[in-house]
Amino acid sequence: GAVVSQHPSWVICKSGTSVKIECRSLDFQATTMFWYRQFPKQSLMLMATSNEGSKATYEQGVEKDKFLINHASLTLSTLTVTSAHPEDSSFYICSARDNLAGVTDTQYFGPGTRLTVL
Amino acid sequence: GQNIDQPTEMTATEGAIVQINCTYQTSGFNGLFWYQQHAGEAPTFLSYNVLDGLEEKGRFSSFLSRSKGYSYLLLKELQMKDSASYLCASMDSNYQLIWGAGTKLIIKP
């Protein structure tokens, strides 16, 4: 089946630093990837839709200058949390949609990255 | 507005059957997804329904009624490892997934 990886799995950083999270589709190409944030005991919240070769589409309330998304290739999207603060501590999950599947097909999720900002 | 409702928590006994319901209201409809999420992990895909009826896949089955805006996930022969949150998500007319808050399923021996 389709596999999506994320790196790192977890990261602890100091307030004010920037953190980059990578999302890779390992055995398929993904023009579209999605970035979610999930707080404890809450539902997944879509942050942005990442499109290869173009700018990401951000959901309302998500600061595009704070959460920088780069989808440089068909298998890699990165999310950079700039000047992270403790309130950015969360579980960040990416998902990818297989190019060869229809637009309504399943999103395959990465394992998630747990970010803790001290 | 768009809304997904599912129970917050359910408890069932090992070996039994449990049905997790989900009602949805979205702008357009392009299918209903069920995901399983263990604590601290990302969701894993369970099922996708776009036509009315029951889809069976091993111990798990999913049902959809588009006219009622209703779906359920049926888990049979429950095992302890089935203890997890089950997320219902509806795909709207923009092909975006609208997520429910999840149902925490507790399996007791």
Q: pLDDT for A9-55, tens place per residue?
A: 999 999 999 999 999 999 888 888 999 998 876 778 889 998 888 88
Over residues B59-80, the mean pLDDT reads 97
- Residue-level pLDDT at B108: 95
Q: Which residues of B touch A91 (CB under 8 A)?
A: 40
* Residue pointed to by tokens 């707080």: A39
User: Using a CB-CB distance cutoff of 8 angstroms, which residues of chain A are in contact with residue B48?
Assistant: 104-106
Q: What is the mean pLDDT of chain B?
A: 92
Residues near A89 by beta carbon (within 8 Å), at least 6 away in sequence: A115, A116, A117
Rounded Cα distance, B84 and A6, in Å: 22
Which one of A43, A97, A103, A106 would you mutate to disrupt binding with B, by most B Cβ within 10 Å of its Cβ? A43
Rounded-to-integer distance, Cα A92 and Cα A115, Å? 7
Question: Any CB–CB contact under 8 A between B91 and chain A?
Answer: yes
Q: Are A92 and A46 in contact (CB under 8 A)?
A: no
User: How many CB atoms within 10 Å of residue B1?
Assistant: 5
- Band the pLDDT of A1: cuts 50, 70, 90: low
Q: What is the pLDDT of residues B76-85, one digit of tens each?
A: 999 999 999 9
The residue with tokens 């092909």 is: B95
Mean of pLDDT values over B24-28 = 89
At B7, the pLDDT band (50, 70, 90 cuts) reads: very high
Q: Which helix (H) or strand (E) holds A105?
A: none
B80 three-state secondary structure: helix
Which residue from B48, B99, B100 is facing A106, i.e. has the nearest CB?
A: B48
Average pLDDT across chain A, whole number: 88
Sign of the C-alpha dihedral computed for residues B81, B87, B90 and B95 taken in this order: negative
pLDDT at A101: 61
CB spacing of A43 vs B97 below 8 angstroms: no
Count of CA atoms in the C-beta half-sphere (13 A) of A61: 4
B29 interface with A at CB cutoff 8 Å = no
